[in-house]
Amino acid sequence: MKEFMLDKPSYQKLLRNYQQLNQLTLLDLFAQDNNRALKYTLKVNDMYLDFSKNNITDETVDHLVNLAHESNLIEHIQNMFNGCKINNTESRAVLHTALRTIDNLGDKRQITVDGKDVIPDIQHVLHKMHKFSSKVHTGEHLGHTGKMITDIVNLGIGGSDLGPVLVCQALKPYCKNNLNIHFVSSVDGYQILDILSELNPETTLFIVASKTFTTEETITNAHTARTWFLNNTNNNTEAIKLHFVAASTNTKAVTEFGINAADNMFQFWDFVGGRYSLWSAIGLSIILYIGFDNFKELLAGARAMDEHFLNTHELQHNMPVMLALLGIWYINFYNYSTQVISPYNTRLTRFPAYIQQLEMESNGKSVDKSGKPVSYKTCPVIWGDSGINGQHAYYQLLHQGTSIYPMDIILALSDKYSDKLHNQILQANAIAQAEAFMVGKTHAQAKAELIANGMNDTQADFLAKHKVFAGNRPSNMLILPEISPYYLGNLIALYEHKTFVQGVIWNINSFDQWGVELGKQLARTVLADIKSGKASKHDESTVQIINLCS
């Protein structure tokens, strides 16, 4: 049986390279090549990726790039951008990149799916969102009692939540209107009831973000919001039109809900997956919050990364490709199980959660495109939090734990919404952590420091054993000029394409998510059991817990 990745000539070469490199530390590699930092730094649209603090040599890079070529990566990339139906289990094209081909960028490319150019539809919805958001901002769209909208509530979960949450949090300083934004994602009733308790139905606009308009969590919340609205407006069903809009494709259900589908339903298409949807109608909350011009900047930033990814055929200079291949190196050769994402900026606190969904839902698969089980590891666990906070929480394990955890450190060169000293301290910490992970500290160093501080030899010898850092821990450093719409677009698209490249190397379909089905299916039975107070056929543990809940 053909094992996709394992059969590639470069795979065997990489295995041998790994055996050799495993004997050398990062410090050895820096000592061997004083051009290393410069050579292993890419700059794309003023965003830097310094990947020199990884356990690689030129040989590794060559073999990794060859592995990508042997997997026909460039062809796969072109197929995605051109609208081929690369999502083979659902027979769908994958065209979140098409959402970024907005008219003012002068794009004349046609992208056809089933013989139809998709660009006009995309531009139509974008225009419709622009128009709607302008009306809300200017007061042309008012609440049912004639008051300005003050609060936006996005009802959505997964891809209909994480993207808007990330962008609105990251770009809050770009919000120049007076709108507050709220996100309700969980079906936990407390979340929505708590938020509703502080809102005024006369000035609140709900966005129901669900492609199918059947997502249980979102629709349950939407009905709770609708009931609250009607209870507080003397059952004014007509007013629903002014206070509820939808990002959806289900005209019938949207209309039945009471929404004016013609004007206030914003469509997207089956070539836009949930975790790639912030660029589509799911971005309506973003447009309302930061304004349409900033949203266009976000698209333009993503588009710039798209162009780089599509057109840089010297793959060692292709930033998403290199980021992906470094991941492959650690997952499939070093056998590391996780990838840490450490943004050094509070506004990017939700970036790890966003990337967690993006990569784990895309590549958390164990069969290849043909359905054959793969015999190699695919997606690792992606995790992390604000880096500076992590230093006071889980970095202990990253430095002194019994495994190694590759890390992407993300920082901004300047921050006009911060303070110079604060930002310098933040940067210094990010840089010093990467250095510390690499250089470590020996017992002799630790002991000498303790003795210099006046400790006696016996005590110092003992304590120094606890203060040893093995070092040789790899990290990438991603440096943005600033956290702006443009560079955020750049950054998100970088990881989208990284995810795609890894899927190609692993020969998996990164665009379906059948793994979410079984739990939903079983939940229907369990819910019926809880409601009826009588457990149907399950294992004894499940029965026991259903009985407790009934």
Give the catalytic positions in this structure. 361, 392, 520
* 120 lies in the site for its own copies, by CB under 8 A: no
- Closest by CA to 207, choosing from 244, 248, 180, is 244
Select from 69, 144, 241, 441 the one that contacts its own copies (CB under 8 A): 441
- Taking CB under 8 A as the criterion, which residues in 83-102 touch its own copies? 89
Interatomic CA distance for residues 453 and 133, integer angstroms: 63
Give me the residue label for tokens 């407390």.
190
3-state SS of 511-530? CCCHHHHHHHHHHHHHHHHH
Comparing CB distances to its own copies, the nearer of 105 and 397 is 397
The answer to whether residue 2 forms part of the interface with its own copies (CB under 8 A) is: no
**Cα–Cα distance for residue pair 359/275, rounded to 1 Å:** 9
C-alpha to C-alpha distance for 478 and 475, rounded to whole angstroms:
10
| Joined tokens for residue 277 | 């949807």
Smallest gap from Cβ 409 to its own copies, in A, equals: 10
Nearer to its own copies, 185 or 318 (CB): 185
Sequence length of the chain is 550
Taking CB under 8 A as the binding criterion, the range among 68-76, 282-290, 488-496, 510-518 that sits at the site for its own copies is 510-518
Residue (of 482, 175, 483) closest to 347 by Cα position: 483
- The count of other CB atoms within 10 Å of the CB of residue 512 is 18
The least CB distance from residue 161 to its own copies, in Å, is: 7
Q: Which of 323, 324, 426, 460 binds its own copies (CB under 8 A)?
A: 426
The footprint of its own copies on residues 249-278 (CB under 8 A) is 274
What gap in Å lies between CA 64 and CA 70, rounded to an integer?
A: 10
Cα(178)–Cα(166) distance, rounded to whole angstroms? 19
Task: Return d(Cα 60, Cα 37) in angstroms, integer.
Answer: 16
Give the shortest CB-215-to-its own copies separation in angstroms: 8
Whether 452 and 461 have beta carbons less than 8 Å apart is answered as no
Q: Which is nearer to its own copies, 47 or 253 (CB)?
A: 47
Least gap, CB of 544 to its own copies (angstroms): 5
The one segment of 57-65, 235-243, 291-299, 460-468 that binds its own copies by CB under 8 A: 460-468
Query: Interior CA angle at 494 toward 489 and 496, to 5°?
Result: 95
**Rounded to whole angstroms, how far apart are CA atoms 434 and 440?**
10
- By CB under 8 A, name the one of 419, 454, 456, 458 that touches its own copies: 419
Residue 525 binds to its own copies (criterion: CB under 8 A): yes
DSSP secondary structure letter of residue 312? -
Q: Which two tokens stand for residue 460?
A: 């110092």
Q: How far is the CB of 83 from its own copies (least distance, A)?
A: 22
* Least Å from the CB of residue 494 to its own copies: 18
Among 396, 448, 457, 536, interactor with its own copies by CB under 8 A: 396
- Structure-token pair, residue 160: 């209909």
The answer to whether the beta carbons of residues 157 and 217 sit under 8 Å apart is: yes
Q: Stretches 263-271, 315-323, 414-422, 490-498: which one binds its own copies (CB under 8 A)?
A: 414-422
Residues 200-229 within binding reach of its own copies (CB under 8 A): 216-217, 220, 224
Site string for its own copies, 27-66 (x = CB under 8 A): x--x---x-xxx-xx------x-x-xx-------------
Cβ neighbours of 43 (radius 10 Å)? 12
Choices 2-10, 139-147, 458-466, 494-502 (CB under 8 A): range interacting with its own copies = 458-466
Residues 282-341 that bind its own copies (CB under 8 A): 337-338
**Plot region of 46 (φ>0 → left; ψ -120 to 50 → alpha; else → beta):** left
Task: Name which of residues 352 to 391 contact its own copies (CB under 8 A).
Answer: 353, 356-357, 360-361, 363-367, 370-372, 374, 376-379, 381-383, 385-386, 388-389, 391
* CA angle at 373 for the pair 369 and 377, rounded to the nearest 5°: 95
Binding window for its own copies (CB under 8 A); candidates: 7-15, 245-253, 256-264, 421-429: 421-429
Question: Is residue 455 involved in binding its own copies (CB under 8 A)?
Answer: no
Q: Which of 15, 428, 444, 448 binds its own copies (CB under 8 A)?
A: 428
Site for its own copies in 136-175 (CB under 8 A): 157-159, 161-162, 172-173
φ/ψ region of 211 (left if φ > 0, alpha if ψ in -120 to 50, else beta) reads: alpha
The footprint of its own copies on this chain (CB under 8 A) covers a number of residues equal to 146
* Interface characters, 184-203, with its own copies (x: CB under 8 A): -xxxxxxxxxx---------
Q: Where are the alpha helices (DSSP H) in 244-291?
A: 251-257, 261-264, 284-290
Q: Is 180 in the site for its own copies (CB under 8 A)?
A: no
